[in-house]
Amino acid sequence: MNKSIFYAIVFMSFLGSVKAQSMQEVELTEAWKDKIYELAPEKATFPFKEKKKVLIFSLHTGFWHWVNPHTEAMFEILGEKSGAFEVTGSTDIAMMEKDQLSKYDLVVFNNTNSKPTYRNLFVDKLSEDGSMDSVAVWKKAAQLENNVLNYVKKGGGLFVIHGGNTTLNNSMAFSKLIGGSFDYHPKQQPIHVRLVDPKHPLVQAFPTDGFVHTDEPYFYKNAYAELDFKPLLYFNNAEIEGQKKGQELTEGVTYVAWIRKDGKGRVLYSSPSHNAQSFENPDLLQFFLDGMQYLAGDVKVDETPIGK
């Protein structure tokens, strides 16, 4: 049998099995964490001189992703097993103050979803304080946003996971920082995620033909159109079902993960994953760990934006 035909059959068979899987919520148990620990990389891919400090920021005011605690646990496991990172988790908005951010080499925005009203996580949270009027709320929210922007420009790393791009979704400054804003997503479905450049150091964990997982295929707006980033992963638009009427894309690609340099710091956006089941793919765990090392400055890679 022709090899290409054989691999096509294998892929379609796998795709069918993924479709059959129900992405039900998985309880965060010690058994689940033990499973992830076993699947996690034995050691860091790139040499490092000292353990770096990581903040997993999981505050949300909008849509609650059930995977949030699993994502935090996953990063803790990667840091512990590799010995490369000391991980701290928090949902306290005070962690966005300058003096707090400065304590960390890397900050992860773990599905830090904001409410649709303003699409501003900081405004949402600060508005809960009855002692602040709207002027004070927006002024303080702008200050916290600038803290994040300056944190990266001065050398910090920012890892934005899945819905974390809605943190400040209507801010063009934040959109430029992370490479794009959330537009919409169709229903969850099996997505064939492909590699832009199989030789890039940050995707070496994956097979050259990519991987399949069930997730929400994200589409983007605002700064995304500038393509001011180095893409790592993508899907073919024509393969995505349920696109918004009038906005269907039947050609081209949409990027799933990318990196960009901003001042002295770095950003990595990763759409995977809405589901904890995705973390049972050791290749994806390796990708996350390698991404952390990139953001922490342990490795230099090609960051050339494709839009320039």
What pLDDT, on a 0 to 100 scale, did the predictor assign at position 114?
93
What pLDDT, on a 0 to 100 scale, did the predictor assign at position 307?
87
Residue 2 has pLDDT above 90, yes or no: no
Q: Residue 161's beta-bridge partner residues?
A: 110, 270
What is the average per-residue pLDDT within 25-53?
Answer: 94
Residue 21 has pLDDT above 50, yes or no: no
pLDDT tens track for 150-164: 999 999 999 999 889
Structural domains of the chain, ranges and CATH numbers in brackets:
37-295 (3.40.50.880)
Percent share of the chain, pLDDT over 70: 93
Geometric angle at alpha carbon 37, from 93 and 280, rounded to 5°: 85
Return the closest-CA partner of residue 196 out of 239, 258, 240.
Answer: 258
Residue 81 has pLDDT above 60, yes or no: yes
Full strand arrangement of the beta sheet holding 189-195: 85-90, 52-57, 106-110, 157-161, 265-270, 253-262, 230-236, 189-195, 211-215
pLDDT tens track for 252-290: 999 999 999 999 999 999 999 888 788 999 999 999 999
C-alpha radius of gyration, the chain, whole number:
19
pLDDT band at 23 (very low <50, low <70, confident <90, very high): confident
23 CB neighbour count, 10 Å cutoff:
18
Residue 96 has pLDDT above 60, yes or no: yes
Stated pTM of the model: 0.91
pLDDT band at 119 (very low <50, low <70, confident <90, very high): very high
What pLDDT, on a 0 to 100 scale, did the predictor assign at position 235?
96
What is the average per-residue pLDDT within 68-76?
Answer: 94
The per-residue pLDDT of the chain, averaged, comes to 91
192 CB neighbour count, 10 Å cutoff:
18
| Integer Cα distance of 169 and 221 in angstroms | 9
- Would you call 106 helix, strand, or coil by DSSP? strand
| Integer Cα distance of 259 and 287 in angstroms | 12
